[in-house]
């Protein structure tokens, strides 16, 4: 497997930092009530970018209800993302989708209000790729709670039978909604479930983006080569409550311990130690991302509301 180049590592750090800056901006807009229906933060889970950043422009992503790194990693415009979250006309779905964003130009196929509904979508698109006969792949991200849905299981089975070009990525962030994962899941490792369908699975430290990158490179290459699906389980932790406007009884020491393993700080320190970025270059990456997201928030706030009559457009009947 080819190791990422110095430039790829720098770009990956910048993506993670931009994603975090977006999350912080979205969190503030949810707290101020400007995002209707709250924001489900992915802060602390940016290691998943180790998978998403490797996708080609003709690949596809189905995505969970949580976090912004899927969109940022695919190259979506933060201005239009924030405008969508605020319900504005300039958003990706003209303000009608809210958190349920589709951006077909970047291979992001939309999202249902029910968890696990995107698993059959991922299997369907992977089947379409196979029929078309090219070597694009689908990455389908889901939470460990979502692993429990029948749609996830039937889609894994279908992917295995069809040897579909699909990489299942379980972000095991230790909490299912506001419940600790062991209360909700019969097994500690979602990876074990893949065994039921003969799908090879790898468990990775989800807060070590280089480990994620390495495991993902193998899984993506396998899917591209026509050798079928695999599953990556990224062990990570959600440092925020389920929703930004909610409260949760959580062990503060546990949160503090995981914050010390923050995926961005860890990667940044590693790149500094390896002489790939200097501290001041890393600070500049952060400052640039913060400026970008402030400008995006301004754009979203100043954008017009949709015309009420537009509620009747883009409907299937």
Ligand X SMILES: Cc1ncc(C[n+]2csc(CCOP(=O)(O)OP(=O)(O)O)c2C)c(N)n1
Residue with Cβ nearer ligand X (7 or 251): 251
Residue with Cβ nearer ligand X (4 or 116): 116
114 near ligand X, rule: CB under 6 A: yes
DSSP assignment of 28-61 equals: HHHHTT-STT-----TT-GGGHHHHTT--TT-EE
Specify the residue for token string 């989800």: 206
- Select from 54, 173, 230, 236 the one that contacts ligand X (CB under 6 A): 173
Q: Which stretch binds ligand X (CB under 6 A): 11-19, 81-89, 111-119, 281-289?
A: 111-119
Alpha carbon of residue 291 to chain centroid: 22
Q: Which stretch binds ligand X (CB under 6 A): 90-98, 118-126, 174-182, 249-257?
A: 174-182
Residue with Cβ nearer ligand X (54 or 172): 172
- Select from 17, 53, 81, 115 the one that contacts ligand X (CB under 6 A): 115
Other beta carbons less than 10 A from residue 48's beta carbon: 31
Could you give the angle at the alpha carbon of 4 between the alpha carbons of 199 and 262, nearest 5°? 80
Q: How far apart are CA 128 and CA 135, in angstroms?
A: 11
**Three-class SS state of 205:** strand
Q: Which stretch binds ligand X (CB under 6 A): 15-23, 50-58, 108-116, 226-234?
A: 108-116
Q: Within the chain, what is the greatest distance between any pair of CA atoms? A: 58
Could you give the angle at the alpha carbon of 74 between the alpha carbons of 64 and 10, nearest 5°? 115
Residue with Cβ nearer ligand X (75 or 110): 110
State in angstroms the smallest separation of the CB of 78 from ligand X.
22
Residue with Cβ nearer ligand X (66 or 213): 66
Residue with Cβ nearer ligand X (177 or 304): 177
Could you give the string, one character per residue 215-244, with x where binding to ligand X holds by CB under 6 A and - elsewhere?
-----------------------x---x--
206 near ligand X, rule: CB under 6 A: no
Q: How far apart are CA 43 and CA 184, in angstroms?
A: 22
- Select from 9, 18, 20, 65 the one that contacts ligand X (CB under 6 A): 65
Token duo for residue 287: 């400052």
Number of residues that bind ligand X (CB under 6 A): 15
Could you give the string, one character per residue 133-152, with x where binding to ligand X holds by CB under 6 A and - elsewhere?
----------xxxx------
Q: How far apart are CA 268 and CA 19, in angstroms?
A: 14
State in angstroms the smallest separation of the CB of 213 from ligand X.
22
State in angstroms the smallest separation of the CB of 38 from ligand X.
12
Residue with Cβ nearer ligand X (63 or 299): 63
Question: Which H or E run includes 108?
Answer: none
Question: If you ran DSSP here, which 8-state letter would residue 226 be given?
Answer: T
Evaluate whether 155 touches 122 at the Cβ level (below 8 Å).
Answer: yes
State in angstroms the smallest separation of the CB of 120 from ligand X.
13
Residue in 19, 37, 23, 20 with CA at minimum distance from that of residue 87: 37
- The terminus-to-terminus CA distance of the chain in angstroms comes to 49
State in angstroms the smallest separation of the CB of 146 from ligand X.
4
175 near ligand X, rule: CB under 6 A: yes
**Non-local CB neighbours of 134 within 8 Å, separated by 6+ positions:** 58
Residues within the interface to ligand X (CB under 6 A)? 65-66, 113-115, 143-146, 173, 175-177, 238, 242
């Amino acid at each position: 497997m080819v190791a990422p180049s110095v430039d790829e590592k720098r770009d990956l750090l910048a993506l993670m930092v931009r994603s975090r800056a977006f999350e912080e901006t979205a969190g503030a807009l949810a707290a101020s009530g400007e995002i209707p229906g709250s924001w489900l933060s992915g802060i602390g889970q940016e290691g998943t970018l180790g998978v998403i950043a490797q996708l080609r422009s003709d690949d596809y992503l189905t995505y969970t209800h949580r976090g912004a790194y899927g969109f940022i990693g695919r190259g979506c415009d933060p201005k239009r993302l924030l405008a969508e979250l605020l319900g504005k006309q300039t958003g990706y779905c003209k303000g009608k989708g809210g958190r349920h964003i589709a951006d077909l130009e970047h291979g992001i196929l939309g999202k249902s209000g029910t968890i696990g509904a995107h698993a059959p979508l991922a299997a369907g698109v992977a089947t379409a790729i196979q029929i078309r006969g090219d070597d694009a792949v689908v990455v389908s991200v889901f939470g460990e709670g979502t692993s429990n849905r029948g749609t996830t299981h039937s889609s894994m089975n279908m992917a295995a039978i069809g040897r579909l070009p699909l990489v299942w990525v379980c972000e095991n962030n230790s909490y299912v909604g506001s419940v600790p994962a062991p209360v909700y899941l019969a097994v500690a490792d979602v990876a074990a479930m893949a065994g039921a369908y003969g799908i090879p699975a790898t468990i990775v430290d989800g807060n070590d983006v280089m480990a994620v990158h390495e495991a993902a490179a193998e899984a993506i290459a396998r899917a591209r080569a026509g050798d079928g699906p695999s599953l990556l389980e990224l062990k990570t932790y959600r440092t925020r409550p389920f929703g930004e406007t909610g409260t949760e009884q959580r062990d503060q020491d546990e949160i503090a311990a995981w914050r010390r393993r923050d995926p961005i700080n860890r990667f940044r320190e590693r790149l500094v130690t390896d002489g790939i970025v200097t501290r001041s270059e890393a600070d500049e990456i952060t400052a640039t991302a913060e400026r970008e997201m402030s400008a995006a928030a301004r754009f979203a706030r100043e954008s017009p509301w949709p015309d009420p009559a537009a509620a009747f457009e883009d409907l299937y009947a």
